[in-house]
């Protein structure tokens, strides 16, 4: 995998067209289309079972769709997966660090997967750890870090190859409210420094209020793809939570 992907000039970081994924009779994604523009923070808001994880599995190349298309920076995920994957960074819902290894060793391993020369990797690791306030933990074992700091290491790992698109799959699950707020705030300040698109999946309405766009996903369908204010206007509600409730009929595990 190269450290920079080919990027046809007018291609958005992410383009999805008519994506379908079924599990037997279950249509987990039933023909969804969306796009993320450079620099946008797009929140994918959906209750349990909406299809968020299925979408992220397809986006990260773990599974292939039944039909439809995913392009990352103009690179088709099915037919041109290497440059597509090289253009994205992912923080998965489940923790994926090796807790026995140091922060630096975890990041070095990832750099190796991206074919990054060691000297560049060291530079990038320092850059990301500085930016994320983890410089003094570079040699700590990941197992010694708090849940919030482990997530920051995963974020550093997702960013060190300078992706055009950052995928955050319910990344605040398991974090206490303070760590959750810190991670959100880090993400929003990071966007001022880099031209990166973020797709943030969550079932928590409080996490989407500052998004550029909110995509409401329910039972494999996109119910809305709009701005937070337009979501309120179009549903006649005064809070995102009420708007979400009025569209989906329920909010599961939203506390």
Instruction: Decide: is 94 part of the binding site for ligand ATP (CB under 6 A).
Output: no
Instruction: Decide: is 63 part of the binding site for ligand ATP (CB under 6 A).
Output: no
Instruction: Decide: is 51 part of the binding site for ligand ATP (CB under 6 A).
Output: yes
Nearer to ligand ATP, 20 or 138 (CB): 20
Nearest to 43, CA basis, from 194, 162, 164, 210: 210
> Using CB under 6 A, which of 19, 50, 160, 231 touches ligand ATP?
50
> Using CB under 6 A, which of 13, 46, 89, 148 touches ligand ATP?
46
CB 164 within 8 A of CB 13: yes
List CB contacts of 6: < 8 A, sequence separation 6 or more: 73, 74, 75, 83
Query: How many helices (H) and strands (E) would you count in the chain?
Result: 8, 10
Using alpha carbons, list the distances in angstroms from residue 248 to 46, 86, 185, 186. Answer: 8, 35, 27, 30
Nearer to ligand ATP, 96 or 146 (CB): 96
Using the rule CB under 6 A, give the single segment among 51-59, 78-86, 131-139, 174-182 that binds ligand ATP.
51-59
Mark 119-136 as b/e (b = at least 16 C-beta within 10 Å).
eebeebbeebbebbebee
Using the rule CB under 6 A, give the single segment among 10-18, 30-38, 44-52, 64-72 that binds ligand ATP.
44-52
Instruction: Decide: is 54 part of the binding site for ligand ATP (CB under 6 A).
Output: yes
Contact residues toward ligand ATP (CB under 6 A) are: 23, 26, 28, 46, 48-54, 203
């Amino acid at each position: 995998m190269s450290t920079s992907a080919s990027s046809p000039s007018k291609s958005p970081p992410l383009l999805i067209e008519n994506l379908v994924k079924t599990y037997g009779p279950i249509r987990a994604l039933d023909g969804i289309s969306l796009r993320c523009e450079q620099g946008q923070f797009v929140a994918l808001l959906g209750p349990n079972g909406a299809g968020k994880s299925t979408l992220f599995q397809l986006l990260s190349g773990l599974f292939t769709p039944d039909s439809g298309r995913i392009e990352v920076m103009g690179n088709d995920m099915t037919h041109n997966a290497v440059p597509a994957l090289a253009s994205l960074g992912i923080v998965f819902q489940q923790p994926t660090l090796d807790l026995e290894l140091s922060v630096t060793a975890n990041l070095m391993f990832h750099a190796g997967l991206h074919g990054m020369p060691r000297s560049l990797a060291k530079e990038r690791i320092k850059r990301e750890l500085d930016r994320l306030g983890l410089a003094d933990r570079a040699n700590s074992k990941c197992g010694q870090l708090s849940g919030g700091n482990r997530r920051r290491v995963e974020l550093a790992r997702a960013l060190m190859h300078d992706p055009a698109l950052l995928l955050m799959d319910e990344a605040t699950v398991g974090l206490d409210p303070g760590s959750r707020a810190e991670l959100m705030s880090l993400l929003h300040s990071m966007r001022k420094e880099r031209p990166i698109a973020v797709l943030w999946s969550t079932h928590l309405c409080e996490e989407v209020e500052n998004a550029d766009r909110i995509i409401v996903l329910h039972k494999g369908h996109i119910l809305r793809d709009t701005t937070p204010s337009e979501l309120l206007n179009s549903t006649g509600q005064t809070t995102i939570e009420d708007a979400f409730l009025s569209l989906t009929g329920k909010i599961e595990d939203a506390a």
